Amino acid sequence: MAHNLPELVIQHSTLVQEEDGFLYRDLNKNGRLDLYEDPRQPIEARVSDLLGQMTLEEKAGTLFIHGTAVAEDGSIEAAPTAGGPAAGLLAKAQMTAHKMNHFNLWEVPGTEALASWSNTIQRFAEETRLGIPLTIASDPRNHFEESIYQLRAKDFSLWPSTLGLAAIGDPDLVRQFVDAIRQEYLAVGIRLALHPQIDLATEPRWPRINGTFGEDAQLSATLGRAYIEAFQGQTLGPHSVACMTKHFPGGGPQKEGLDPHFEFQQGQIYPGDNFDYHLIPFAAAIDAGTAAIMPYYGVPVDQTAENVAMSYNKAIITGLLREKYRYDGVICTDWGLVTDFVFPGTDVVWPARAWGVEHLSEIERVQKLLEAGIDQFGGENCSHHVLELVQQGTIAEERINQSVRRLLRLKFQLGLFDNPFLDPAQVDQIFDRPAVLAAAQAAQSRAMTLLKNEGGILPLRGRPRVYVQNMDATAVSPYADLVADPAAADLAILRLQTPWYPVETRNFFAQSFHHGDLDFTGEEKEAILQLLAAVPTIVVIGLDRPAVLPEISAAAQGLLAEYGASDEAVLNVIFGQVPPEGRLPFELPSSMTAVRAQKTDLPHDSEDPLYPFGFGLSY
């Protein structure tokens, strides 16, 4: 209703009128007819009307989604910061140069500035020839842990990782989590979630395990369904955030765990002949109505007629996803499949993830992706290649229309054409709500998994003398008396993270991925074991991958796993204020020998695991 809309809409539309309870926006710029169709008309009719008015250049731009920076003051004019993206990757510049109307957010300022930016950039979009509103997307922002592909953001509530949600295993908690972050996304204009990630963690060395629900297909399917339904609702509408579920057909079985973001990847392998097992969560996601799906970078080695990356693979995109699963939503590639990237100020090249088709030119890659059946190019803005392919008759414009139709349909379903603007007052009402912050911290605690409790040392009672490592002393002081020497302590609390060992590469991004072996070694391991021998110790291990820690487990008196938790959340469990409810969402192998002997595509197949899938003690 018009009287419920922010004043910003009225100020920046040529005409706003209300009739029979419906909002109309009549722009009539340059003698055009009203481009904002009567909302009472079927969406397909509105899509067809708009599609018929679009130029080929505008259609081509719609097929691309790329990142954008957001200035600290929320403006759309600000110059990029040092070390940040080039000016050409600001949203306004890409809209002007490439006629784009989809963007994903990178690092962002506070939520007030982000909401201001959203309104300003949508106002700029309204002034373009057809006034097509933007679809703003984001990777996850609401997990306590921080990684290269899960963004921490000021003001957003911080919950455990999806592994932590899987450890609790409660679909209702997933719905509570998603409902809270859905409201936060809506308050700042994010309408497309580049998640959930429902790959299966069957290769324990894979760096992206922390974004999954673990290694079990049925658990991932159940929680993934709850996640999508809570974000989108029964039907997509103005209160929905659309989900781009990833990474079809499951990115977990990477050979030696080497991630296909990078050229040192060795493909996805299926030695257990278990390809279909990885599809189980995606079948549930499709049944739940996920608005979009993102294939992964990996090559499904010897699973189809050609060994090319998923998005280039017609058997995967058209044969499997479109035809077998009858999926008619948006299919968007993962980011950067067409163009190489040169790190600014260096000669370091990050090759396009065109695995199996590296020999093709950029325009040939675009052609092959379209022929495979994708709708949208992630992390790219090379719309000129689409223009050339159509103009030279290589790709029919009707093929482009099919994908543009899907992308416009989603905008209409989300209500963006009826009102893309925000009420800035919602920021203060939605963020920093005590009930949400309390629920988020409680979930961090509840997800913790008690693996060992020798002599019933946990929960701690009274006010012991405690020596701590890798914890904030100010967080510990309300619970215990801190001592600086382990010899003076009643016990020690030691926080650790799953080991990882960077791949030797000049690629700065690759150096941040948690590749490599999972066990503690050398001086680090010796120092840990010396502490455990000196004083009764409670070890808290952060699991973003399945750590290998048999000697540490044997020497610790108490062992807890966490999946993204503040010191306070950890201490609340250690001191019995919140009982640990978590059950392992994957096995903890007994050795790296066992890890290497596992079959990449099989769950629960580690020989004699230190702790099996689903293990967890209680107080």
Enzyme catalytic residues:
334
Whether residue 580 contacts residue 616, with contact meaning beta carbons closer than 8 Å, is answered with: yes
What lies within 8 Å, CB to CB, of 431 at 6+ separation is 111, 155, 156, 157, 184, 187
Query: Closest Cα partner for 197 from 206, 207, 210?
Result: 210
Whether residue 497 contacts residue 505, with contact meaning beta carbons closer than 8 Å, is answered with: no
DSSP designation for 315: I
- Integer angstrom CA distances of residue 270 from 267, 299, 602: 10, 11, 8
Tokens, residue 301: 């080695």
- What φ, ψ does residue 358 adopt, rounded to 5°? -55, -30
CA–CA distance, 237 with 186 (Å, rounded to integer): 12
- What φ, ψ does residue 617 adopt, rounded to 5°? -90, 170
Half-sphere exposure of 553 (CA within 13 A, CB side): 17
End-to-end CA separation in angstroms for the chain: 53
- Integer angstrom CA distances of residue 570 from 209, 507, 536, 546, 573: 22, 35, 18, 19, 5
Biggest distance spanned by C-alpha atoms of the chain: 84
Residue 138 identity (one-letter amino acid): S
Tokens, residue 506: 């000049």
CA–CA distance, 409 with 329 (Å, rounded to integer): 9
Residue 153 identity (one-letter amino acid): A
Whether residue 445 contacts residue 414, with contact meaning beta carbons closer than 8 Å, is answered with: no
Query: Closest Cα partner for 186 from 225, 230, 226, 234?
Result: 230
Query: Closest Cα partner for 321 from 290, 351, 349, 358?
Result: 290
What lies within 8 Å, CB to CB, of 129 at 6+ separation is 29, 58
Continuous segment of H or E residues that includes residue 19: strand 16-19
Strands (E), 88-238: 102-105, 135-138, 192-193
Whether residue 572 contacts residue 438, with contact meaning beta carbons closer than 8 Å, is answered with: no
What lies within 8 Å, CB to CB, of 347 at 6+ separation is none
CA–CA distance, 96 with 565 (Å, rounded to integer): 43
- What φ, ψ does residue 283 adopt, rounded to 5°? -60, -40
